[in-house]
């Protein structure tokens, strides 16, 4: 065996442990979910378990809950992605300047993204949005506005606010990297030619950030399609906040319909794969276009 083939064999052998663990953690549960999706299995009636073919999928598509939850997922995800991207752009522009305490400000701005989703939902539910003791209603009372029962009157909005708060730092980091990659000489030349800050930002900075905005939107969309914690902790899926992830949980752990929940899970995976495929292809085109521009 030549040294090149030996080196290749060693490289492949080193990958096998990680590949084996990845298969055990991802593919086996997926196969089990597929198997259960063809079974009629309610945990309250364990003796009536049996093969039902595509009946569970027929229930999923005819029930109406799937399409409603899919629409809720689109609204929640889309609103959170747009809000986080716009706020991320604002904070990225503000942090892309030299000032005292810049590093501290950047560290503090990243903090919400590092908080566990369950902990963030609990903080927002009890400390900020609580009807009696929440800081949001306290602030509204200062200007004479009556208190709002956020988690029951506008549940979808509360979930969107939490997601925007948590994913704005994610968008900010990507957009800040884009701002820092912009040539300072070009900006100085525009200033010398008489272009003001607003004209420079609209005509030069925004076109430069287009690819970074696309990357932010695509990655944030993939991450937010799996949102569960704020819905489960704050709203329980009421008022248009029931996403696909919570619907799956509801069927499995509240309705105890394991077979039907597995079918919902498979449909959710299919939707996620479609979105991820489109996102990755678009992302590949973005990087390909950037590579051609830099040649």
Model pLDDT for residues 76-110, shown as the tens digit of each residue: 999 999 999 999 999 999 998 888 888 898 888 99
Give the global pTM.
Answer: 0.84
* CATH number of the domain enclosing 101: 1.10.3720.10
SS3 (DSSP) at 230: helix
CA neighbor of 77 nearest in space, from 233, 217, 211: 217
Q: Enter the tokens of residue 258.
A: 């394991």
The answer as to whether 83 is a domain residue is yes
Alpha carbons 103 and 110: distance in angstroms, whole number: 11
The answer as to whether 99 is a domain residue is yes
Range of the domain at 148: 38-288
Alpha carbons 102 and 161: distance in angstroms, whole number: 26
The answer as to whether 283 is a domain residue is yes
Please tell me the total count of domains within the chain.
Answer: 1
The answer as to whether 280 is a domain residue is yes
Helices (H), the chain: 3-22, 28-37, 55-63, 65-95, 102-114, 117-122, 135-142, 150-153, 155-180, 184-192, 197-200, 206-224, 229-230, 244-249, 258-294
CA neighbor of 262 nearest in space, from 69, 65, 76, 253: 253
The answer as to whether 169 is a domain residue is yes
**Could you tell me if 60 and 264 are in contact, meaning their C-beta atoms sit under 8 angstroms apart?**
yes
Q: Enter the tokens of residue 236.
A: 């329980």
pLDDT at position 283, please?
A: 66
What b/e string do you get for 31-45 counting C-beta neighbours within 10 Å, with b at 16 or more?
A: eebeebbbbbbeeee
**Could you tell me if 216 and 88 are in contact, meaning their C-beta atoms sit under 8 angstroms apart?**
yes
Other beta carbons within 10 angstroms of residue 237's beta carbon come to: 20
Digit-by-digit pLDDT tens for the chain (295 residues) are 566 677 778 888 888 888 888 888 888 888 888 999 998 888 888 788 888 888 889 988 888 888 899 999 999 999 999 999 999 999 999 998 888 888 898 888 999 999 999 999 999 999 999 998 899 999 999 999 999 999 999 999 999 999 999 999 999 999 999 988 887 777 777 777 677 777 778 778 888 888 888 889 888 988 888 889 999 999 999 888 999 889 989 988 888 888 889 998 898 888 888 877 777 777 667 656 554 555 5
SS3 (DSSP) at 130: coil
The answer as to whether 295 is a domain residue is no
pLDDT at position 140, please?
A: 93
The answer as to whether 190 is a domain residue is yes
The answer as to whether 266 is a domain residue is yes
């Amino acid at each position: 065996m030549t040294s090149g083939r030996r080196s290749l064999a060693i490289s492949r052998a080193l990958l096998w442990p990680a590949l084996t663990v990845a298969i055990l953690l991802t593919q086996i549960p997926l196969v089990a979910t597929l198997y259960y999706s063809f079974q009629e299995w309610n945990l309250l009636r364990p003796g009536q378990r049996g093969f039902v073919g595509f009946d569970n999928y027929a229930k999923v598509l005819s029930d109406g809950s799937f399409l409603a939850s899919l629409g809720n997922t689109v609204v929640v995800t889309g609103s959170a992605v747009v809000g986080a991207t716009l706020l991320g752009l604002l904070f990225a522009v503000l942090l892309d300047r030299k000032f005292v305490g810049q590093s501290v400000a950047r560290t503090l701005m990243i903090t919400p993204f590092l908080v566990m989703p369950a902990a963030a939902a609990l903080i927002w539910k009890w400390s900020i949005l609580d009807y009696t003791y929440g800081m949001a209603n306290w602030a509204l009372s200062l200007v004479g506005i009556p208190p709002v029962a956020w988690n029951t009157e506008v549940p979808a909005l509360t979930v969107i606010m939490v997601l925007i708060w948590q994913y704005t730092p994610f968008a900010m980091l990507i957009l800040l990297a884009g701002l820092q990659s912009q040539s300072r000489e070009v900006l100085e030349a525009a200033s010398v030619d008489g272009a003001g800050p607003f004209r420079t930002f609209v005509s030069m900075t925004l076109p430069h950030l287009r690819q970074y905005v696309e990357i932010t939107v695509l990655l944030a969309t993939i991450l937010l399609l799996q949102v569960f914690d704020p819905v489960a902790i704050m709203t329980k899926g009421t008022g248009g906040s029931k996403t696909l992830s919570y619907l799956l949980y509801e069927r499995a752990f509240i309705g105890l319909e394991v077979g039907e929940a597995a079918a919902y899970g498979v449909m959710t995976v299919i939707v996620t794969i479609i979105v991820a495929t489109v996102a990755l292809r678009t992302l590949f085109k973005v990087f390909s276009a950037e590579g051609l521009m830099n040649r």
